[in-house]
Chains A and B, each alone.
Chain A
Amino acid sequence: MNRFSPLTHAFIVLVLSIGILYSLPNLYPAKPAIQVAYTDSSKSADQRLLSDVEQILTSNSILVESVGLKENNIVAKFSSFDDQLAAKAALQKNLLDQAIVALNLEPSTPQWLRDIGGGPLKLGLDLSGGVHFLLEVDIENALDNRLESLLNEYRKKFRDDRIGVESSTKDDTVLTFAFVSDEDYNKAIRAFNEDNITAVGTSLYDLQLNSIRNIVSLKYSQSAIKEIRDYAVGQNLMTLRNRVNELGVSEPIVQRQGSSRIVVQLPGVQDTTAAKKIIGKTANLEFRLEAAPTASRLRKEEFSYQDERMGSAYLEKKIIVAGERVTNANSGFDESGFAQVNITLDMQGGRAMQKATNGNIGRRLGVLFVEQKNKSTLVIDDAGNEAIEQTSYIEKRIISLATVQAVLGTNFRITGVGSPQEASELALLLRAGALAAPMKFVEERTVGPSLGKENIQLGVRSIIMGLLSVIAFMFFYYRWFGLAANIALFANVVLITGFMSLLGATLTLPGIAGIVLTIGMAVDANVLIFSRIREELKEGKDPQTAIQEGFSRAFVTIVDANVTTLIASIVLYAIGTGPVKGFAITLSIGILTSMFTAILGTRAIVNLMYGNKNIKELRV
């Protein structure tokens, strides 16, 4: 009696081995490492950079464990933090602005563990230090701008086509046109239909017709709003990724959250002001007219082309429109089949462009790409040591200089941009330089690196203290049964770590609290079982039957109690964000593993101690 079948034993051993296996990577300490990437984010690291890095390290006689290409970076691992810092200094000194050198921690998980998908727990920002931003994309603004440019487009079209318009207004989200006569009204509807705007079956606009009063009103359909929102958020996401790359952070996260929010997480970043400046910058395109050759030095400025072979040109100092006014840009072909870039500006931008180009037809219009860059220089500091000084500066380069053919408004095109490939690159640059819709910071959390380390220490200390006190209590109160429960409790902690690593869950400070709480509550199942066994013994049952009955009677209670706690933690996961989600994950995993260890694990140990033996007296 009270023996598990070999199959049950095999199952317990299997689950335990999986848990142990996947918690193993956490025992290998993270190695100090350095990431090197080209400053130009369009270039990914290559053999040349790799051999440069290797050569710099050897010539400075820095011990390196391994150097290799990983994704778009070169990753070098070191055995000590001193080597890592020495290497960073040496690399920066030699590569200067050619490459971004970032300090990093690389897991030293052995290859065989990585092959089966093992890796250490990811640390949340509250443990690793870093910045978390939540940005909201202002869709209202994007919609407003587009609607306004649509209004102007049709005003112009009706004027050109001599369609009599009595009034045209934009009221919040609705455009309303009132026409002079039935004839004008019908012509206008034909014009709308030509643009695929129809009263029925169109997916982009909802058109409402009033043929008695000759009024047409137009607004975006639900699906169009969704499309515009997706476009704006997607576009901003791409722009943000480009900008985050400039920061040279290892493992940044840039993700969409919900319908119109974007999360940016930058582990290890300390200078939040710089990070915010780069993430939040908007105007990085400028449209300026080419300066007349006779213009005074005070009113013109010399800029070089993005393509260095083309030299430089003089542009006026006055900025007509900046990048924040660009709402869209894409490449296409003109009537004769040459590549062109179509640009859409918002209302304000269109007005400014119209004013500037009016009377300047035939002159050339330049597009400047503005980038904030960092420049590193070697200096000798006060103490006489070599130091790298970083200064940020703004670089402006001409990406296009084309002749103005007509007065420009919200929509215009740039021709003579070279090959279709170059046109699409220019469109991409124009789009990347601009945000599809303005964004604002709605949440920001910065954790300094010292606080992160402190949090880990405190967390680990409270886990150890909690675990020790529970283990001591259980052993003194239940003796041998307590020992069985303690072994199960220990297995539980291993299982939680293993499964969390396997699932790639992120450990946060509240997550650690979740583990601690699980330790306290996990013994509950065992306490229930042991109390039951005591009662059975008191009723005069023999020890073997008492063990049997105790376990099976407590089972139902344990399941009920845990399922309800699980419900609470699932709700917590659903409503929580960041750290609270971390707590919910550890709590849920903890409940499941503790049921396993308390019911099957403890039973197995108790069975091994007492099963099939003739026990006269049982002390619980």
Chain B
Amino acid sequence: MNFNIPFMSYRRVATISSLLLLVLSVGSLSFKGLNLGLDFSGGTLIEVSYEQAADLAEIRDLVFTNGFDDFQVVNFGSNSDVLIKVADKNGNSQIGDVVFKFLQAADPAIELKRIEFVGPQIGTELRDQGGLGMLVALGMILLYVAFRFQYKFALGAVAALAHDVVIIFGLFSLFSWDFDLTVLAALLAVIGYSLNDTIVVSDRIRENFRGERGYEPEEIVNKSINQTLSRTLITSLTTLLVLLALFFFGGDMIRGFSQALIIGVLIGTYSSIYVVANMLLGLSITQDDLAIPEPEGAEFDDMP
């Protein structure tokens, strides 16, 4: 496939829509916050399976009359599977057993699928560790890209990653999707994936800057994006294919995970085209920035 799309002519449109998305995300995050899953909020979760469609209102009544007030009862997967989440600040680990006992007393045919209890301090720890991990990953990637390319590329790459991560956070906040540990794992995988794309585009920009003299930076960037476009689209497509397989066939326990990744792949593809290139042009990259070939590049050129 040959592409010759004047991507860089739409720079302003892209910048404005990225900024709009970011503002919306940050706004939703600060006013609405994330709907933290059990891993981060702490509490107890009980999943039970009924033989026939479960009457949620009845179950709610039952939980309430047994003395709990801060809880949620929802269907999980099918209408005979029920998920009950009980919040408890004191970290009482007995709640799961207690709830299952009285549900079973009301309907002996139910089957226990899982109980999860996360104490309040573990929740806080996981939250801190997760946030820290995110920052460490971004920092290390920044260093690697700065070392392998040039600091303007590193800034571009990290801006693209931050862009993706903030928007995914924002969407999870906006739609109140459950944000748990697997979603965090998916976010880190998105960082890896989006970076993959970014590096491929950056690599081509670097190559073209070095190889072809006498062009405007904008022309070179545009050409590079077009050259890598078919690869960018195909890889996104194959990755999306497997993610859709996970989303539809992988079951409810990893639906949040595949959902975060699907959004991540879409946004990551967009950001590798626009955010990096935009940053590079914004930082006014010139041929001189890349004039001296780095020894690391040369080292690999003859292999394999």
| Chain B hits for A579, CB < 8 A | 181-182
Q: Is the CB of B113 within 8 A of A523?
A: no
- CB neighbors of A among B233-256 (8 A): 234-235, 237-243, 245-246, 248-251, 253-254
A444 touches B251 (CB 8 A): no
Across-interface contacts of B136 in A (CB, < 8 A): 571, 574-575
B242 touches A520 (CB 8 A): yes
Closest residue of chain A to B227 (Cβ to Cβ) is: A535
A–B Cβ pairs within 8 angstroms, 14 of them: A134-B119, A276-B97, A440-B119, A443-B117, A444-B116, A458-B249, A509-B254, A527-B234, A527-B235, A566-B192, A569-B188, A571-B137, A575-B129, A580-B185
- A462: interface (CB < 8 Å): yes
- B36 contacts A by Cβ under 8 Å: no
CA–CA, A334 to B164, complex, Å? 72
A301-360 contacts to B (CB < 8 Å): none
Q: When the two chains form their complex, are residues A580 and B182 in contact, meaning their CB atoms are under 8 A apart? A: yes
B interface size (C-beta, 8 A): 74
Contact pick for A531, options B130, B145, B199, B231, CB 8 Å: B231
* Contact residue among B114, B200, B238, B303 (Cβ-Cβ distance under 8 Å from A445): B114
**3 closest Cβ pairs, A-B complex:** A466-B242, A575-B133, A565-B192
Interface contact B116-A528, CB-CB below 8 Å: no
Contact A564 B199 (CB under 8 A): yes
- With a CB–CB cut-off of 8 A, which chain A residues contact B115? 272, 444-446
Interface centre among B116, B141, B246, B257 (most CB of A within 10 A): B246
Stretch of B8-16, B58-66, B281-289, B294-302 with 4 or more beta carbons under 8 angstroms from chain A: B294-302
B185 and A572 contact, CB distance less than 8 A: yes
Which size class do A's interface residues fall under?
A: 35 or more
- Are the CB atoms of B301 and A575 closer together than 8 Å? no
Interface 0/1 of A28-64, CB less than 8 Å to B: 0000000000000000000000000000000000000
Question: How far does the alpha carbon of A287 sit from the alpha carbon of B14 in the complex, in Å?
Answer: 77
Per a CB cutoff under 8 Å, which of A441, A509, A562 touches B253? Answer: A509
Stretch at the interface among A209-217, A224-232, A553-561: A553-561
Shortest distance from the beta carbon of B230 to any chain A beta carbon, whole Å: 6
Instruction: Determine if A192 is an interface residue (Cβ-Cβ < 8 Å).
Output: no
**Inside 8 A of A564's CB, which chain B residues have their CB?**
141, 144-145, 192, 195-196, 199
Q: Across the interface, name the chain A residue whose C-beta is closest to B296.
A: A556
- Chain A, 509-529, contact with B by CB distance < 8 Å: what is the 0/1 string? 110110011011101100110
Q: Does B87 contact A (CB under 8 A)?
A: no
Say whether B17 faces chain A, with CB atoms less than 8 Å apart: no
**Which of A466, A473, A562, A600 contacts B237 (CB under 8 A)?**
A473
B258 at the binding interface (Cβ < 8 Å): yes
Given the known interface contacts A513-B246, A575-B132, the answer about A587 and B189 at a Cβ–Cβ threshold of 8 Å is yes
Alpha-carbon gap, A441 to B44, bound state (A): 12
Nearest B residue to A576 via CB reads B185
The interface-forming segment of A66-74, A82-90, A239-247, A447-455 is A447-455
Chain B residues closer than 8 Å to A273, beta-carbon distance:
97
Chain A residues near B122: list those with CB within 8 A: 134, 442-443
Which residues of B from 107 to 121 have beta carbons under 8 Å from A? 111-119, 121
Per the bound structure, the CA–CA distance linking A399 and B176 in Å amounts to 59
Contact (Cβ within 8 A) A559 B242 = no
Q: Given A509-B253, A531-B231, are A565 and B193 also a contact pair (CB < 8 Å)?
A: yes
Tell me which of B191, B235, B245 contacts A523 (CB under 8 A).
B235
A276 to B242, CA, bound (A): 40
B148 close to A (CB within 8 Å): yes
A492, chain B: closest CB distance, angstroms: 13
Contacts of B133 in A (CB 8 A): 571-572, 574-576
Q: CA separation between A561 and B121, bound complex, in Å?
A: 37
Question: Which chain A residue lies CB-closest to B254?
Answer: A513
- Give 1 or 0 for each of A561-599: 1 = CB within 8 Å of chain B CB: 111111111011011110110011001000000000001
Q: Do residues B114 and A446 form an inter-chain contact, with CB atoms below 8 A?
A: yes
Contacting residues, chain B, for A206 (C-beta < 8 A): none
Q: Does B24 contact A (CB under 8 A)?
A: no
Q: Does A469 contact B (CB under 8 A)?
A: yes
Tell me which residues across on chain B come within 8 A of A569, comparing CB atoms: 188-189, 192
Q: Closest approach, in angstroms, between the C-beta of B203 and any C-beta of chain A?
A: 5
Q: What residues of chain A lie closer than 8 Å to B228, measured between beta carbons?
A: 531
Known: A272-B97, A450-B111. A567 touches B144 (CB 8 A): yes
Among A136, A451, A455, A600, the one with the most B-chain Cβ atoms within 10 Å of its Cβ is A451
* A466 neighbours in B (Cβ, 8 Å): 241-242, 245-246
Quote the shortest CB–CB distance from B36 to chain A (angstroms). 16
Chain A residue with the shortest CB-CB distance to B128: A575
Q: Is residue A499 contacting chain B, with contact meaning CB distance below 8 A?
A: no
Q: A462-B246, A520-B238, A556-B301 are in contact. List 14 more A-B contacts (CB 8 A).
A: A272-B97, A465-B245, A520-B243, A521-B238, A521-B239, A527-B234, A527-B238, A531-B234, A557-B204, A564-B192, A566-B192, A568-B195, A575-B133, A600-B304
Query: Contact: A524 with B250, CB < 8 Å?
Result: no
Chain B nearest CB, measured from A273 CB (Å): 5
- Is B88 interfacial (CB 8 A cutoff)? no
Determine the chain B residues whose CB is within 8 A of the CB of A444 once the complex forms.
93, 96, 115-117
Q: Shortest distance in angstroms between B181's beta carbon and chain A's nearest beta carbon?
A: 6
- Which A residues lie within 8 Å of B96 (CB)? 272, 444, 446
A552 interfacial by beta-carbon distance below 8 Å: yes
Q: Shortest CB–CB separation between residue B19 and chain A, in angstroms?
A: 26
The reply to whether the CB of B73 lies closer than 8 angstroms to some CB of chain A is no
